[in-house]
Amino acid sequence: MMHLLPLTEDLLRSRAREIIVYLQFLQIAVENDAHVSARATQLQRPLDKALTHMMKANVSLLLYSTMEACMVQLLDEMHNTIGQNCQGTDQLNAQLVLMVANHFKTSKAELTLDKTHPPLHECLFKAWLTDWQNRNQREKRQAGLSGSVDSLAIFQQLSRFGVFAANLQKPPAHLTHSALQSAKGRRNQLAHGEISFTELGQNLIFGDLCKETYAVFRTLRRVAQEVSLFLKQQRYLAMPSLGVNGSIE
């Protein structure tokens, strides 16, 4: 089995622990006649149905937050690994060269004299890498991710690095699942005020949320494995190292 990148592995484990604890409490909360009690004051209150609906709706926010965080972490680890093993754009695969070139068309990064001295390929590479490293977490999320993370968005982001063949038009089957699209869609509905937490949650079934949670984390782990293999095989290079074979099932 391909090991995940360490920081991505830690992130997914941490987020999994959070949502498991939340789902364990939610399972009790949605039971009929569930109550909340305070031992110190011996107070006991029934859990209102509207509250449990809100709690079910909140699962979508937890899942979407994990999806965005995982992608930003993977992008960080890709930039770091590429930066540690390359000195200029002439060493990069064709898709990465195109991404670096397009970066200066769309970003606010300025090409000043100190960034364009010979050899130019080294200066452009360093400027691209530094621009990413200087961004805060919010800015990294907004770099083509914010509010839009699903299987297709993940595929498109990773394709820019050359993780997939340039002629591949859609995500491989094992790296896509409708659960990511569902979590994104409900998150966006809540974030844009299109529906209330209560309205959304009353149509959600606890068992379905558990299945969706499993599907999201399984897909994210598979994506992380794909990136780990890409970096291990050094496929970001124009001439990647040979001798490492394997596929992610």
- Return the residue matching tokens 């107070």: 43
Q: How do residues 140-171 score in pLDDT, each as one tens digit?
A: 888 767 668 999 999 999 999 999 998 999 99
When the pLDDT of each residue in the chain is averaged and rounded to a whole number, the result is 87
3-state helix, strand, coil in the chain (%, to 5): 65, 5, 30
Distance of alpha carbon 72 from alpha carbon 140, whole angstroms:
7
Judge contact between 149 and 67, C-beta under 8 A.
Answer: yes
Single out the residue of 127, 102, 107 nearest to residue 115, CA to CA. 127
Q: Identify any residues that bridge with 44 across adjacent strands, giving them in sequence order.
A: 37
Q: How do residues 178-190 score in pLDDT, each as one tens digit?
A: 999 999 999 999 9
DSSP 237: B
Q: How do residues 89-118 score in pLDDT, each as one tens digit?
A: 999 999 999 998 887 776 655 656 555 555
pLDDT of residue 70: 95
Q: Identify any residues that bridge with 35 across adjacent strands, giving them in sequence order.
A: 46
pLDDT band at 243 (very low <50, low <70, confident <90, very high): very low
Spans of all domains in the chain: 6-89+136-232
DSSP 144: T
Q: Report pTM.
A: 0.87
